[in-house]
C-alpha cells in the first residue's frame, strides 16, 4: 500500500473570496483650496452613503461597500474602485451610482460612460 502524495499546488491555493465584490469609495478630504482637490470635497461621502443604502435595498449579496482613504486619482473625483476586477469609476450623482450598481454589480457588466481608463491620467508635472 502506498501513501497518497499531497498536491503542493492544492496547499498553496487561495481561499475563496469573502466578498464577491468589494467597492472602495475614496472619502479622503484635503484642506480647502488644495491644488489636487479631494473626493470628499466633491461629495464622495454622501455618494458612499447612498451607494451603501441602495446596495442593501437591491439585496446585493456578497457585496461590501467601504470608505477608503486617498486612492490617488483626486483630480477625477469622486472616485471608486471595484474589486476583484479593479475597475475604476468616477460617479458625480446618485444616478451615476445607480448606473454603476445596476451595470456592474447586478448585471456583471460595466457602466462604461462612468469608467476611468488608462487614458485618464494626469499631465506630467512641469
Q: How many CA atoms lie within 13 A of 113 on its CB side?
A: 7
β-pairing, 21-26 vs 63-68, is parallel
- Residue-wise pLDDT for 35-77, tens only, equals 888 999 999 999 999 999 999 999 999 999 999 999 999 889 9
- The CATH number covering residue 74 comes to 3.40.30.10
Q: What is the predicted pLDDT for the residue at 121?
A: 78
Helix segments in 4-109, DSSP class H: 8-12, 44-57, 94-100
Residue 121 lies in a domain: no
Residue 1 lies in a domain: no
Residue 83 lies in a domain: yes
Report whether the peptide linkage leading into residue 45 is cis, meaning its omega lies within 30 degrees of zero: no
Count of the separate structural domains present in the chain: 1
Residue 71 lies in a domain: yes
What grid cell was written down for 108? Answer: 456583471
Residue 124 lies in a domain: no
Arithmetic mean of pLDDT over the chain: 91
Residue 32 lies in a domain: yes
- Residue-wise pLDDT for 110-125, tens only, equals 999 999 988 887 766 6
Tallying the residues shown for the chain, one arrives at 126
Residue 67: which domain range? 17-116
Amino acid at each position: 500500500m502506498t501513501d497518497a502524495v499531497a498536491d503542493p499546488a492544492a496547499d498553496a491555493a487561495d481561499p475563496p473570496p469573502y466578498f464577491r465584490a468589494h467597492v472602495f469609495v475614496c472619502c479622503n478630504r484635503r484642506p480647502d483650496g488644495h491644488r489636487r482637490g479631494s473626493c470628499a470635497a466633491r461629495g464622495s461621502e454622501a455618494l458612499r452613503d447612498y451607494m451603501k443604502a441602495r446596495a442593501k435595498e437591491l439585496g446585493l449579496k456578497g457585496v461590501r461597500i467601504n470608505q477608503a482613504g486617498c486612492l490617488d486619482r483626486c483630480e477625477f473625483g469622486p472616485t471608486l474602485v471595484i474589486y476583484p476586477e479593479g475597475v475604476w469609476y468616477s460617479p458625480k450623482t446618485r444616478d451615476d451610482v445607480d448606473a454603476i450598481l445596476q451595470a456592474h454589480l447586478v448585471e456583471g457588466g460595466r457602466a462604461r460612460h462612468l469608467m476611468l481608463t488608462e487614458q485618464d491620467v494626469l499631465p506630467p508635472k512641469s
